[in-house]
Structure 1
Amino acid sequence: MSVGVFVLFGAVTGLLPNPVYVRMIDRTPADYLFLVATAVFAGAFVYQRSLAEEPIGDRFAAGGIVGGFLAFGCPICNAVLLALFSSSALMTYFDPLRPVLGVASVVFSAGLLVYQRRRCEVC
């Protein structure tokens, strides 16, 4: 699961170079860090969810994955963000906040994994 998320998200955000998608901003080490963290979280969540008798946190996990995606994705390449805001607003206001969003997403996701693990007797 983690490898699939890594390849899929890496390809559609241009972090993994490919001929279909061209990234319009520079790649940074933080982008790769948040990509790996989001992929690991997705895989760990799905694994823990499969072991739990009463799975919880699906909406929170989706929020963590979306937050992670926004943290490493190219803000001016994201059609949804570009439709809501102009490219200059995204680069001026949203781009500097991407690392903060990434850290918040990682902390939030880790907290969900810890909470889910404490509730799971099999895990």
Structure 2
Amino acid sequence: MPPTRTTVAKGAAVSIGSFLLFGIVTGLLPNPLYVRMVPRTLFDYTFLILTSLFAGIYVAQQPTTDRSKDDRLAFGSTIAGFLAFGCPICNVFLLALFSNSMLMTYFDPYRPLLGAVSVALFAGLLYYRHQQDCESCGRVVESESST
């Protein structure tokens, strides 16, 4: 089923909203509310853009069946993306679980890998959903043409 204007508008709103929200909260978009403690890198901006874009595309894809498993994977990919471009020592959740030095020593070097996994999972999910929609559209077209 091709996307309607409404679903495209919802997807665009989610993309722009998540980009602004995540960008401000993580300090990638400079603002007076939050000062980032770790230098910004190209990977941080790349993962912010891709995570926001994929979240918007996910919302824009009109669900045709129950896809609660898809929702969990999309949520997990979004969280992994957020952890990948977020400041590791400014993340209260991570800081509560681990020490500052442990985060910088063991977590920070693997943030690009976490971001790549997040993007790969999201891209795979979007591709899978697109293929499922194409197959269901193909079955509808075949059944209409045979009658």
TM-score, normalisation: structure 1: 0.95
Misfit runs of 4+, over 3 Å = none
Q: State the alpha-carbon separation in 2 of the partners of residues 100 and 90 from structure 1.
A: 15
Find the aligned partners of 1:9 and 1:106 in 2 and give their Cα distance: 16
The alignment yields a C-alpha RMSD, in angstroms, of: 0.9
How far is 1:119 from its partner? 1.2
Q: How does 1:30-69 map to 2 (within 5 A)?
A: 30-48=43-61, 51-56=62-67, 57-69=70-82
Give 1:78's match in structure 2, choosing from 91, 99, 109.
91
Q: How many residues align?
A: 120
Distance 1:72 1:52 in 2: 29
Aligned-residue sequence identity (percent) comes to 58
Q: Which residue of 2 aligns with 1:110?
A: 123
SS in 2 for 1:69: helix
Structure showing greater Rg: 2
Give the Cα–Cα distance (whole angstroms) in 2 for the partners of residues 39 and 52 of structure 1. Answer: 19
- Indicate the SS of the match to 1:23: coil
CA distance in 1, matches of 2:89, 2:100: 6
Counterpart of 1:2 in structure 2 is 15
For residues 15 and 119 of structure 1, the distance between their equivalents in structure 2, rounded to whole angstroms, comes to 35
Mark the runs of 5 or more structure 2 residues left unpaired by the alignment: 1-13, 138-147
Query: Aligned letter for 1:75?
Result: P
